[in-house]
């Protein structure tokens, strides 16, 4: 590998190292907080902030909020489509805090593990072995994780939001737990699986070339 490319790979790996260890630290602290939340939150009489994503209107996949407006000959049937936002509130319920923060723990865990795999790939690049057989498995795992995250994360988020909304009665506007699958994550996962196939082909070519020499 040429020196400029080697320097670039080392710089990228350095930043991945930082992200990895920050993810481990925050993930560990959040996991510890979740384990202690039945004691710390339940024993506290002071409510603390929590938040959930919400869909504004009726319907989780494509929410619709009809609007009351004066009749007009040119404009009628006003409604807001696919409105989304964040509902912030205060609560002393440890189950609500557990559910809402569990979503973030899953995000941190996924990101940290993907960064760990990318660091491992960069190590082989720095060692001038980019087509190492282990990289094929690493890329496949990253692709499957992205696809799984795009499908499962919205479901977990939906269940957490639904649990909270079932406990409250908001007047004046309909709120629904949103369910929006991560199309970008799924597409990214599929592209990485294609890249893993290309890597496998490159690995085979490199192996054949070494045998020829």
Domain segments of the chain as ranges: 3-50+92-171+181-212
**Nearest Cα to 200, choosing from 145, 139, 126, 148?**
139
Contacts 24+ apart (CB under 8 A), 114-119: 114/142, 114/145, 114/146, 115/16, 115/19, 115/20, 115/23, 116/20, 117/141, 117/142, 118/16, 118/142, 119/13, 119/16, 119/17, 119/20
Rounded-to-integer distance, Cα 17 and Cα 25, Å: 12
Instruction: Give the pair of three-digit tokens for residue 178.
Output: 């949103």
Q: Give Cα separations from 195 to 119, 130, 131, 136, 198 (angstroms).
A: 17, 13, 12, 9, 5
What is the residue-level pLDDT of the chain in tens, covering all 213 positions? 556 667 888 888 899 999 999 999 999 999 998 888 777 766 667 777 888 888 887 777 777 777 776 655 677 677 778 778 888 888 888 888 888 888 889 999 999 999 999 999 999 888 888 778 888 899 999 999 999 999 998 898 899 888 888 888 877 778 888 888 888 999 999 999 998 888 888 777 767 666 665
Q: Is 0.85 topped by the overall pTM?
A: no
DSSP 58: B
**Nearest Cα to 100, choosing from 172, 46, 159?**
159
Rounded-to-integer distance, Cα 75 and Cα 68, Å: 12
Query: What is the residue whose two structure tokens read 């989780």?
Result: 60
């Amino acid at each position: 590998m040429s020196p400029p490319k080697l320097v670039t790979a080392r710089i990228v790996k350095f930043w991945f190292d930082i992200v990895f260890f920050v993810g481990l630290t925050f993930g560990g602290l959040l996991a510890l907080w979740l384990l202690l939340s039945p004691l710390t939150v339940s024993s506290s009489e002071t409510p603390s902030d929590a938040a959930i994503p919400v869909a504004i209107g009726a319907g989780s996949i494509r929410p619709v909020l009809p609007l009351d407006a004066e009749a007009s000959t040119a404009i009628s049937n006003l409604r807001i489509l696919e409105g989304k936002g964040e509902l912030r509130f205060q609560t002393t319920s440890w189950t609500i805090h557990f559910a809402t923060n569990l979503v973030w723990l899953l995000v941190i865990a996924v990101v940290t593990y993907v960064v760990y795999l990318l660091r491992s790939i960069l190590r082989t690049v720095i060692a001038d072995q980019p087509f190492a057989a282990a990289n094929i498995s690493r890329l496949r795992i990253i692709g499957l994780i992205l696809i799984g995250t795009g499908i499962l994360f919205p479901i977990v988020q939906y269940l957490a939001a639904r649990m909270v909304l079932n406990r409250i009665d908001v007047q004046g506007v309909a709120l629904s737990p949103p369910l929006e699958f991560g199309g970008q994550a799924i597409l990214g996962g599929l592209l990485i699986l294609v890249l893993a196939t290309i890597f496998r082909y490159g690995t085979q070519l490199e192996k054949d070339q070494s045998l020829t020499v």
